[in-house]
Structure 1
């Protein structure tokens, strides 16, 4: 797995409340998380940092215990631990009350990507020129789309599109959503905040991933979002699936 990532404050915000972390692991596997914080003067930034730090510590301490077939429970448990860390800070510090963060986390390798998320930060799979959204936004507007009250096109213009229905740290317990997809050499996993997806359409993202070299694509995507207005913090994390070399010695 190869990794490229970038975060940018955007054109309209006073601070960057996004955060991310990604690491290559042994055996050609990798993991990454992207968070978009919310709440208070510093609350969102701190919530996102706690979430990424906690998930990093979880992988560092628990990875050795992960058994094949246990990926779902492993990554879901990591989200529980992370949620509790943000919640404990939010409830113990009066200045942090009400803070929280979206989170989308992927563990990839051995032919599969295991993805868990809460909120409207997204995971996509780019495969053979096509970009497919893996996660489903936990938002008021997505609920309206799911129930047929508005179309996807109307959702992109809805004034309440930023109201999310799930987040890390806002309650003692969380019900994140898990997805799994097959991956193969040449595929790219994209984890991103809505500062990217609210600014440029999926088709344009797919075109960049197709035409631009892997390690340049993150900067190009951020530039496109800034050109479109850069109305929010922008975070882009790419995980590229490489050919696994088998040595039969």
Structure 2
């Protein structure tokens, strides 16, 4: 069965930055959703996130075709997971090549959180500290792992979650798309249920709104809460670009 998923997305420059280095993709027809949070001086982040979106879209369209989907016998399907991971690494190679052509763009990169709906499953490939959440029956679950310095220290028991929230290095990420030709990509698959909300966001949103608040607001208004949540992140400082995609499973 193919689940009907309807998503709403918004990206905002915030209150401090002069440019928006975030990019997003919302394709309700194909069930493909992407958040990319770019980094790098001289417009590098903006270029990296845009290339990431373009290349992932192209690669997913060409590789996750009806023939591959029809060949799936059970979920999670390794071929689908690999195809999503490959789409991110294809983007990573293109960004890396672009940076070699222009010395002012050296070191640019981007996060990438990619979700593709296949039948009644959500497949995800992920690099960086943007996030993929599942909101179900009033509860919120962070499905992706932040590839950040402080999060790895929390997992190692060096920092507490409370200390990580206010740490001066909390925005330092340990993996990015485009910094090198190929990156270690996390993948996952989750079965969908009617009424689920899928949330993809950059750290400009989850850094200002905690999980409990996000769950409460999303449960109350569903996809209609996207603008409210972005405005709330801005009201709390808006120091970073803010991107949010929320998809409702019908």
Per the normalisation by structure 2, the TM-score is: 0.92
Q: Which digits, 9 at most, give the CA deviation of each residue in 1:68-125, with x for residues without a partner?
A: 2332111111112111111111112212111000111111232221111111000000
| 1:195 alignment partner, SS class | helix
| 1:42 matched to 2:43 | yes
Q: Write the distance in 2 (CA, Å) between the matches of 1:200 and 1:24.
A: 26
| 1:113 alignment partner, SS class | strand
Q: Write the distance in 2 (CA, Å) between the matches of 1:92 and 1:179.
A: 34
Q: Write the distance in 1 (CA, Å) between the matches of 2:8 and 2:143.
A: 19
| 1:104 alignment partner, SS class | strand
Q: Which moved more, 1:178-187 or 1:198-207?
A: 178-187
Quote the residue 2:246 is aligned against.
238
How many aligned positions are there? 238
1:180-199 aligned at under 5 Å gives the runs: 180-199=189-208
Instruction: Please state how far the C-alpha of 1:60 moved relative to its aligned partner.
Output: 2.5
Q: Write the distance in 1 (CA, Å) between the matches of 2:68 and 2:213.
A: 37
Q: Which digits, 9 at most, give the CA deviation of each residue in 1:133-152, with x for residues without a partner?
A: 00010010011100011111
Quote the residue 1:221 is aligned against.
229
Quote the residue 2:90 is aligned against.
81
Query: Residue 28 of structure 2: which of 3, 24, 27 is its match?
Result: 24
| 2:237 alignment partner, SS class | coil
1:124-135 aligned at under 5 Å gives the runs: 124-135=133-144
| 1:145 matched to 2:164 | no
Instruction: Please state how far the C-alpha of 1:160 moved relative to its aligned partner.
Output: 0.1
Change (3 A) 1:213 1:180: closer
| 1:15 matched to 2:19 | yes
Q: Write the distance in 1 (CA, Å) between the matches of 2:241 and 2:207.
A: 11
1:46-85 aligned at under 5 Å gives the runs: 46-64=47-65, 65-67=67-69, 68=72, 69=77, 70-85=79-94
Q: Write the distance in 2 (CA, Å) between the matches of 1:239 and 1:213.
A: 8
Gaps in structure 1 of 5+ consecutive residues: 243-249
Does the 8 Å CA contact 2:222/2:248 hold for their aligned counterparts? no
Does the 8 Å CA contact 1:80/1:174 hold for their aligned counterparts? yes
Does the 8 Å CA contact 1:35/1:101 hold for their aligned counterparts? yes
Per the normalisation by structure 1, the TM-score is: 0.92
